[in-house]
Amino acid sequence: MKSTRLYVLGRHGQVARALQEASEAQPDLVLGFGGRDAFDIADTDAVLQALRGFQPDIVINPAAYTAVDRAEEDAAAAYHVNRDGARAVAEASARLEIPTIHLSTDYVFDGAKPAPYVEDDAPAPAPAEEAQPQRHHGTDLEFTAGPSRAAAVDPDVVQPAVRR
């Protein structure tokens, strides 16, 4: 059976580590990881080179500035990964025509919609989350970049016991 090759950005993050653990029971999955120790996620050429090297079937991008309480005073760092990094990953994977999943956050929606959210819904954060516009940029960018998809994931995805 042909194995499926997944390339995951953000090597040491919670989601990346959960994927690594889950894949151990899946012999047909081959995981590769890219981290900031290896290249700058906002450098499209560097991301392209990493993807060409690993030849993934699917790219998963959970890399993000997730320190919500520091994002306002550390905006440049947050924009670097959440906007510019998301753009570089989206551009590189679109250029290589590799389907890509970008993990975002359900905080880009205010929860007021009475029905489930769908891909076309415009980000509309609750007022308390407006200080994090970098997250919406990442979500928008991935939607507009070829075969990519953004996933605004629920807070309980990885660690059911921990509310983020």
Ligand X SMILES: NC(=O)c1ccc[n+]([C@@H]2O[C@H](COP(=O)([O-])OP(=O)(O)OC[C@H]3O[C@@H](n4cnc5c(N)ncnc54)[C@H](OP(=O)(O)O)[C@@H]3O)[C@@H](O)[C@H]2O)c1
Residues that bind ligand X (CB under 6 A): 10-16, 35-36, 41, 62-66, 80-81, 85, 103-105, 153, 155, 157-159, 164
CB of 126 to ligand X, least distance (A): 15
| Residue reference for tokens 């081959």 | 30
Centre a 10 Å sphere on the Cβ of residue 91 and count the other Cβ atoms it contains: 18
Q: How many CA atoms lie within 13 Å of 1's alpha carbon, on the beta-carbon side?
A: 8
Q: How far is the CB of 46 from ligand X (least distance, A)?
A: 11
Nearer to ligand X, 65 or 98 (CB): 65
With b for 16 or more beta-carbon neighbours within 10 A and e for fewer, the 98-131 pattern comes to: bebbbbbbbbbbeeeeeeeeeeeeebebeeebee
Q: DSSP string covering 36-87, please?
A: TTT--TT-HHHHHHHHHHH--SEEEE------GGGTTTTHHHHHIIIIIIHH
Measured from the CB atom, the residue of 3 and 111 that comes closer to ligand X is: 111
Indicate the residue among 5 and 80 with the shorter CB distance to ligand X. Answer: 80
To the nearest whole angstrom, how small is the minimum distance from the Cβ of residue 1 to ligand X?
Answer: 29
Cβ proximity to ligand X: between 28 and 37 the closer is 37
Q: How far is the CB of 72 from ligand X (least distance, A)?
A: 16
